[in-house]
Amino acid sequence: MVLDPIALPLTSRLTPPNLKYNFLYYSDAPQVALDEPCVLGIDEAGRGPVLGPMVYGACYYPLSFEEEFKKLNFDDSKKLSKEKRETLFRLFETYKDKVGWIIHSLSPQFISTCMLRKNKYNLNDLAHDTTVGMIQKLVDLGVAIEHVYVDTVGPPKSYEQWLTKQFSTIKFRVAKRADSLYSCVSGASICAKVIRDSILENWEESLDLAISERLGSGYPADPLTKEWLAKSVDPVFGYYPVVRFSWSTIDDLLIKQGIKINWPESEALLGVQKLKSSSNVTFNSLLTGIFDHFTVKGGFM
């Protein structure tokens, strides 16, 4: 699904029903990116937070535009203010005849599904597969990718070798702090961060009461996030879908504040797990069984 790059993060188009699912958005590929060799940068936002999605972003442009792109002063999104990030993101529209972008948002529900299922699908594997998926999408669109720079997930060298095996005709460089070293990765960092911030800001509860003001950054150590988590837990159902149930922070809160359930000895839900009659099981444990059997599919993929 292709959307205008400005309309996407800076309006309320990202509404709650869609945010329960994974989605892929991308700009139109500039004609020059189809005709000339391109450089591509990839980075993510939201790997560590307990709230909201993990968003992967990629930014690409022809090698002939490299020096001009550097003059735009993109940088690691973590070093920039929200206002500065949004100003830089608008430049993608200004230079749409040269620069393209793509983002893949992984919802909290999907992350929880992967992390809580019987055969755990961890964040590193998610990162690797999401990166490959975005590159493949751009290849399918006809973008002439020659070099790819990626912010590291795990050991840089082994990740670089693995990516090379997936795309033998593309040159890869995986590096720590790549978002500070390579302009294309800085651009990707801006994409991912602006989109993630927009998702959190536009998340509303069912009664149309905005909760974004008190969510905080979503990181477990953030006082605003800690306060929101403590006040928002339901003793039976847990949390809104904005929460990643697979994080230990949530597990601890549910154990402390959730209602314990005493299950009779029987096969657990859908036969996933056998529970002893004396075991106390939190609602989060019950979710583990559910997530093993139901996959949340992307709404736009």
Which residues fall in the annotated binding site for a divalent metal cation?
43-44, 151
Pairing mode, strands 38-45 and 145-151: parallel
Q: Give Rg (Cα) of the chain.
A: 21
Amino acid 143 reads V
Q: In the 8-state DSSP scheme, what is residue 82?
A: H
Q: Of 113, 48, 51, 52, nearest to 250 (Cα)?
A: 51
CA distance 99 to 118: 41
CB 21 within 8 A of CB 295: no
Structure tokens at 177: 């702090």
Amino acid 72 reads L
CA distance 223 to 264: 39
Q: Of 275, 277, 236, 241, nearest to 257 (Cα)?
A: 236
CA distance 200 to 203: 5
Q: 151 pairs with which residues across the strands?
A: 175
Query: Nearest 10 degrees: CA dihedral of 112, 116, 119, 122?
Result: 50
Q: Of 13, 112, 11, nearest to 53 (Cα)?
A: 112
Structure tokens at 66: 């490299």
CA distance 164 to 135: 12
Report the largest interatomic distance among the alpha carbons of the chain, rounded to a whole angstrom: 68
| Binding annotation | 43-44, 151
